[in-house]
Amino acid sequence: MIQEIGRAYDNHYVACEAAGADYVLHYRERGCLVHVTSHGGADAWAEGNAFDLPRVRDLAERPSRLVYAFAIGGARFFLALDDEVAAPAGFAYEAVNWLRYAEPAELLFAVVTGSQLDRWYRDNRFCSRCGHPTELGPRSREIVCPECASIVYPKICPGVICAVTRRDADGEKIVLTRYNGRTTALWALVAGFTEIGEPLEDTVRREVMEEVGLHVKNLRFYKSQPWSFTDTLLVGFWCEVDGDPTITVDHSELKEARWFGRDEIPLERTGDRVSLTGEMIEQFRLHGIPE
C-alpha cells in the first residue's frame, strides 16, 4: 500500500529551519512541483512514471513560509506555504493523482501526505470562530488564533472499505462496485465515511445497506491505511452477507455492482501497490475469503 515505503516515516513535529538539502513540497491547483524524469503514461494508473522533488538549494529564491512537515529515512521535507514559488528549470506542477503510481515510493508518499497537510494549513488561515488571521504554533503542529485563543489541530476523516463475501454451491463470491461520474471507474469495494457518533462497525453495516442493499454479519478487521487523497484514515473489513444475497444498487452513487467469483475478478488491479481496496481484491482473487 502507499504507506509501505520500506523506510522509516517520522511525523513528529520539529520547529526548525530548512537546510539546502531538504526537500520542498509546494502545491498549486491540486498539483505538486516536481521534475518528471520518466513518463509511463497519461493517467494515474500508468506504470513507469518517475519524478524528483526540488530541494531548498534548487530554488532561486527561498520561500518565505517554509514549515517542517516530516522526515522519511532521515530526509527532511518542508511545506512551502507561499502562494507562488519560482519553479527551477525542468520542474512543473503535476496533478497529485497523476503521480499515484509514480516512483520512488517514498517521494510519492511524501507528495500525497504533504498535500493533506498543505490543505489543512491553507484552509485554516483565518479563525473559524472569530475570523481573525491565524498563526502557526511555535512548538507543535497547531494553528492558533491570537485574537480568541482558538487552537486547531489536523483533522482526519475515518472511513471504511468493506469486502462483502459469501460462499455457495458455485464457490466463493465477493461484491465489487463501480462509481458513477468518474473518468476512471475501476472496480472497487463498498466504501464510505463514518458519521458522527457512529462506530466503524456500524459504518460498514450502513454503507453496505445504502450502496448495495445487503445485510452483513461476521465483521473482521483486516488493515488500516492513511489515504491522504481524501484526508481519510481507511479501515478495511471483511464481512459475510446475512440473508438474501440479491443486490440492490444505489444508482445515485454507483454505476453498477455485482457478485464476482475468484476466476471472474477483473485484472485491472493486479499491479495496484497503492490502495487498500486493490490489496483486498487481490487477496480474494488469489487466496479466497480469509479465515
Q: Please tell me the predicted confidence (pLDDT) of residue 46.
A: 67
User: How many percent of the chain have pLDDT more than 90?
Assistant: 83
Q: How confident is the model at residue 34 (pLDDT cuts 50, 70, 90)?
A: very high
Please give the pLDDT value at position 119. Answer: 96
CATH 3.90.79.10 fits 157-287, yes or no: yes
Q: Answer whether residue 100 shows pLDDT above 90.
A: no
| pLDDT tops 80 at residue 43 | no
Region 46-50: mean pLDDT is 80
The CATH code of domain 9-123 reads 3.90.79
Q: Render pLDDT for 199-251 as a digit per residue (tens, 0 to 9).
A: 999 999 999 999 999 999 999 999 999 999 999 999 999 999 999 999 999 99
- Could you check whether 9-123 and 157-287 share the same CATH topology? yes
266 — pLDDT class (breaks 50, 70, 90): very high
pLDDT tens-digit series, residues 155-164 = 899 999 999 9
Domain boundaries, the chain: 9-123, 125-155, 157-287
Q: What is the pLDDT of residue 120?
A: 96
Q: What is the mean pLDDT of residues 60-66?
A: 94
Instruction: Specify the range with the lowest mean pLDDT, choosing from 42-56, 94-108, 117-131, 236-250.
Output: 42-56
Task: Tell me the DSSP string of the chain.
Answer: -TT--SS-EE------PPPTTSEEE-EETTEEEEEEEE---SSTT-TT-EEE--BGGG-SS--S-EEEEEEETTEEEEEE-SS---PPTT-EEEETTGGGG-B-HHHHHHHHHHHHHHHHHHHTSB-TTT-PBPEE-SSSS-EE-TTT--EE----EEEEEEEEEEEETTEEEEEEEEESS-SS---B-EEEEPPTT--HHHHHHHHHHHHH---EEEEEEEEEEEEGGGTEEEEEEEEEE-S-------TTTEEEEEEEEGGG--GGGTT--S-HHHHHHHHHHHH-S--
Q: Is the model's pLDDT at 98 over the cut of 90? A: no
Looking at the predicted structure, is the pLDDT value of residue 42 above 80?
no
pLDDT at 44: 62
User: Mean pLDDT, to the nearest integer, of 125-144?
Assistant: 94
* Portion of the chain with pLDDT greater than 70, in percent: 97
| Position with higher pLDDT, 100 vs 213 | 213
- What does the pLDDT read at residue 122? 95
pLDDT band at 48 (very low <50, low <70, confident <90, very high): confident
